[in-house]
Copies of this chain bind each other. A is one copy, B any other.
């Protein structure tokens, strides 16, 4: 294992551990000790790769997560021409992830978004950018499906809202009913917005 490989590994392990923790517990509940244990690295490694500490790592984890989601949406879009199906697959994926983790693993941005205060400037910026990218990805999807640009933007915002709120409710309830209900109605609504073509939902 050469220098650069080892470095990338530790760094990525740290980012993955933080992403995981953000999904399950959020930013403040997770101590460095459990984080480092999960990443299998001692403290020196963290402060070597992220001299600004825990917050910098969280920002990196958020950016990494957003990039992954965007890539996933793009991938689905290539596989599946029907935009409504892309959305459906994406939401189904989220449901599966939630269920398979005993309703612990939600969105890596959501908890940090609610925990953050006005003082956490860099963190908030990363979160705002992240949500912005998500909305943009979805808006582009709807735009390409023939929905007017401005309307597509608004529907993308509603989609992110519904997605986040549904995950929240499903999480505390310990079942997927809320997530499924939300998903179904959201897809129904968006179907009706598509330019005339029979989309039986």
Q: For the complex, what is the distance from the CA of A82 to the CA of B118, rounded to whole Å?
A: 37
* A151 (CB) vs chain B CBs: closest residue: B185
Interface check A54, CB cutoff 8 A = no
Q: Determine if A115 and B185 form an interchain contact, defined as CB atoms under 8 angstroms apart.
A: no
Q: What total of chain A residues lie within 8 Å of the partner, measured CB to CB? A: 48
Interface check A56, CB cutoff 8 A = no
Q: For the complex, what is the distance from the CA of A168 to the CA of B162, rounded to whole Å?
A: 11
Chain A contact residues: helix, strand, loop or mixed:
helix
Task: Provide the residues of chain B in CB contact with A26, threshold 8 Å.
Answer: 26, 28, 114-115
Oligomeric state, in copies: 2
Task: Provide the residues of chain B in CB contact with A106, threshold 8 Å.
Answer: 114
Q: Determine if B169 and A116 form an interchain contact, defined as CB atoms under 8 angstroms apart.
A: no
Interface check A194, CB cutoff 8 A = no
Contact with B along A118-131 (1 / 0, CB 8 A): 10000010011001
Q: Report the 6 A-B pairs with minimum CB-CB distance, sorted nearest first.
A: A161-B165, A164-B165, A28-B28, A165-B165, A111-B114, A161-B166
